[in-house]
Amino acid sequence: MKLEGKVVVAQGGGPTAVINQSLVGVVLESRKFQQITKVYGAINGVKGIVNEDFLDLTQETTNNLERVAVTPSSALFSTRDKPDEAYCQEIFKVFKAHDVRYFFYIGGNDSADTVRIVNQQAERSNYEFRAIHIPKTIDNDLVLNDHTPGYPSAAKFVAQAFIGINLDNRALPGVHIGVVMGRNAGFLTAAASIAQKYPDDGPHLVYLPERAFKTDEFLADVKSIYDKYGRCVIAVSEGIQDESGVPIITKLEQKERDSHGNLQLSGTGALGDLLAKLVKDNLGIKRVRSDTFGYLQRSFLGCVSDVDQREAREVGEKAAQFAIWHNIDGSITIHRTGFYSVDYQLSRLKDVAGLTKLMPPEFINARGNNVTNEFKYYLTPLLGSGMPSASMLRAPRAEKLLEK
Amino acid sequence: MKLEGKVVVAQGGGPTAVINQSLVGVVLESRKFQQITKVYGAINGVKGIVNEDFLDLTQETTNNLERVAVTPSSALFSTRDKPDEAYCQEIFKVFKAHDVRYFFYIGGNDSADTVRIVNQQAERSNYEFRAIHIPKTIDNDLVLNDHTPGYPSAAKFVAQAFIGINLDNRALPGVHIGVVMGRNAGFLTAAASIAQKYPDDGPHLVYLPERAFKTDEFLADVKSIYDKYGRCVIAVSEGIQDESGVPIITKLEQKERDSHGNLQLSGTGALGDLLAKLVKDNLGIKRVRSDTFGYLQRSFLGCVSDVDQREAREVGEKAAQFAIWHNIDGSITIHRTGFYSVDYQLSRLKDVAGLTKLMPPEFINARGNNVTNEFKYYLTPLLGSGMPSASMLRAPRAEKLLEK
């Protein structure tokens, strides 16, 4: 029996370069089904549902949807709200009033948990209803997934940024520290390693939250590289922690937290400045710079992986197909089936919600200050076609005539 | 009479996305002339000359030169050295020993001044010699030039970054402050204005070094925008100054200076953090973020204007042609002759060297907190073909049923 009613699609958490591909995948696929009476987009995620702030996407042109698909950040805007029971009852009041029978929420593990709670409520109140979580996060930290839409494009940005920083640092030598997002997972920071083309290319050091950050080892590492090359490029994850699991950034000052209790790690240059000062003060190197990549890495217009675009579109389409054709709930997960191909499955919400995937040990070197080739093998196909690379001059040295 | 001898080409100052186009323009054009015995590239600018650190670019493949041309940053590496008389005598000792008769220096106004001094020395010592300055700077602050190679690509990066930041800020509202390079000139920061596509798009405020930065007006501006839109995106130049011409960043701490006496403005998130704190403390807005674009804006791989690429190549070619065909010295300057076309001229070194061009008054609004359409008309053709833009959903709002 076909379940007739409206679709609501929403976007939660931090924006990505391809989150609108998933939105457009849901909308275009849902609009094909006769039992779908309308396709609504909730403005500002779950907050828009309780406020009945809906766009009627059944009345959006396909042409404009395709243009929105290639626009980064969340076209329906976002929220950090995480519904509790009372919030969920409000959501249901609205869903029932509007005869919403399908709910698609594009987001990370917090959003997956929201879908799980909403779904529980539906079961309890015997309201026939399908809810599907569509994966998205630049942090790449969703369990079960080989990788997550949004990550490949952000990784491409980080890789291209470090290729440039490495060249800049070679031209005007010194120490450069680049601070990358990713919270507790090091995948995004690890993407910097793609810049290592020529033997002396940076980043020479890569620090991840998966390994304890020890100040003395950090300084010894920097000194060793600087003594060898006269320069040092370092990629550091915003979420690096000491041996007790205390984020290094908290050693600075009281930081603000979002409504999920997550620490504010971005939108400040503090961690980079702290590390730069450490190097200056302890190693006596004069030219030490730090860049915090900030919001550019998740919303920069014009740096996108075509593999990521395609997959983000497909997880949206598959979500609509699973829910509408097959009448089942869950979280869409991406599984690698070759080098390089993927398959989409529907996994149980409780197996994804609220959990965090970290870099596996085989992606990190023994000293914990760089990545392995295994990681580069994992990342390379995700960056898609047309990944640029840098070229150096290879001309021979001219003979010196003045014997200096 | 043809002046026979070697060519030396070098790159000075901060890297850009297209500085290697100019290098390759010089090399390929010079290699066509029979009187050019070799084409040398000096490693690390003038420092490489005194150390006789030359690459023999006559022995570089054309294919690799073309690959280097599309690689950002200075392939010959750079220097902040600024030669004095003694330094220049060392340069001459080397030039004479190697029979160097043509010197091309790609750089900003400091580099132009270096060429001027070297040229003076040649005249004094009756050494027949041609020296040409080839313009390059993301700051766009060379006088006589309509614009400078390197600026359009950096401007494209800044524009694309602000398009993304505006979308991000719309999805998760708050105040966002983006700090952009440019030293005493506001051209690069002003490029953020290209993100203003839809009526409420940011950056809503643009602060340039050409206008005194007054803290109370800044706070009033931010409050006014935030009250209107519930969010505010701000572009700030790293070089903003107070009414007495004191850089705002010096109000923070003792900053380091480079060998030209220039203040270190980049490679730290300090200015952004200071302004964010100002807004938080005075306006009571909770979500205030700042991003300092840092080195990404001058060396990011994969964000380049094709107009900039072409012009950077041509200034290199023209430099070789002026020197070798016409036997004259000077600084290559770019002149706009239509919408959009340019012409290259050879100007006198003393008319360019050491001088700084600022944003003309017609590019800045009366309140000094944004740019005019006149500026956008100036910038748009420089961004080249394929400049991406963002698209918003235009679907109608759905009717509310619960009367909240």
pLDDT of res. B259 = 57
> Minimal CA–CA distance to B344: which of B66, B147, B188?
B147
Report the CATH architecture of A153-300+359-383. 3-Layer(aba) Sandwich (3.40)
Query: Does residue B254 register a pLDDT over 50?
Result: no
Mean pLDDT of B359-376: 98
Check if B388 contacts A (Cβ < 8 Å): yes
B151-302+359-383 has the same fold as B5-149+303-352: yes
pLDDT of res. A229 = 97
> Minimal CA–CA distance to B19: which of B70, B79, B56?
B70
The reply to whether residue B273 touches residue A269, judged by beta carbons under 8 angstroms, is: yes
Residues contacting residue A321 through CB under 8 Å, at least 6 positions apart: A29
Asked if residues A6 and A101 have their Cβ atoms less than 8 Å apart, the reply is: yes
Query: Does residue B131 register a pLDDT over 90?
Result: yes
Mean residue pLDDT across chain A: 93
Lowest mean pLDDT among A240-254, A256-270, B106-120: A256-270
Query: Does residue A294 register a pLDDT over 70?
Result: yes
The reply to whether residue A54 touches residue B299, judged by beta carbons under 8 angstroms, is: no
pLDDT of res. B36 = 97
Query: Does residue B221 register a pLDDT over 90?
Result: yes
pLDDT of res. B241 = 95
Mutate to test the interface with B, among A62, A258, A300 (most CBs of B within 10 A): A300
pLDDT tens track for B311-363: 999 999 999 999 998 888 899 999 999 999 999 999 999 999 989 999 999 99
pLDDT of res. A219 = 97
Which sequence spans correspond to the domains of chain B?
5-149+303-352, 151-302+359-383
The DSSP symbol for B71 reads S
Q: How many CB atoms are located within 10 Å of the residue A333 CB?
A: 23
Q: Quick one: closest CA in A to B400, which residue?
A: A52
What is the distance in angstroms between the Cα of B124 and the nearest Cα belonging to chain A?
Answer: 22
What's the token pair of residue B116? 């001027």
pLDDT of res. A324 = 93
Residues contacting residue A216 through CB under 8 Å, at least 6 positions apart: none
What CATH class is the domain B151-302+359-383?
alpha beta
pLDDT of res. A268 = 67
Query: Does residue A101 register a pLDDT over 90?
Result: yes
Lowest mean pLDDT among A279-288, B69-78, B108-117, B375-384: B108-117
pLDDT category at A327 given cuts 50, 70, 90 is confident
Q: Which of residues 143-172 of B touch A (CB under 8 A)?
A: 160-161, 163-165, 167-168, 170-172
pLDDT of res. A3 = 92
Mean pLDDT of A36-44: 98
Complex prediction ipTM? 0.94
Q: Residues of chain A with pLDDT > 90: what percent?
A: 85
Torsion angles phi and psi, residue A41, rounded to 5? -110, 125
Check if A301 contacts B (Cβ < 8 Å): yes
pLDDT tens track for B155-173: 999 999 999 999 999 999 9
pLDDT of res. B39 = 98
pLDDT of res. B268 = 67
Q: Is A376 helix (H, G, I), strand (E, B) or coil?
A: helix
Q: Are strands A100-107 and A205-207 parallel, antiparallel or unpaired?
A: unpaired
Rounded CA separation A328/A322 (Å):
6
pLDDT tens track for A246-262: 999 887 654 555 555 66
What is the distance in angstroms between the Cα of A313 and the nearest Cα belonging to chain B?
Answer: 17
Asked if residues B150 and B19 have their Cβ atoms less than 8 Å apart, the reply is: yes
pLDDT of res. B260 = 58
pLDDT of res. B255 = 52
pLDDT of res. A2 = 87
> Minimal CA–CA distance to A181: which of A273, A308, A297?
A297
pLDDT of res. B262 = 62
Report the CATH architecture of A5-149+303-352. 3-Layer(aba) Sandwich (3.40)
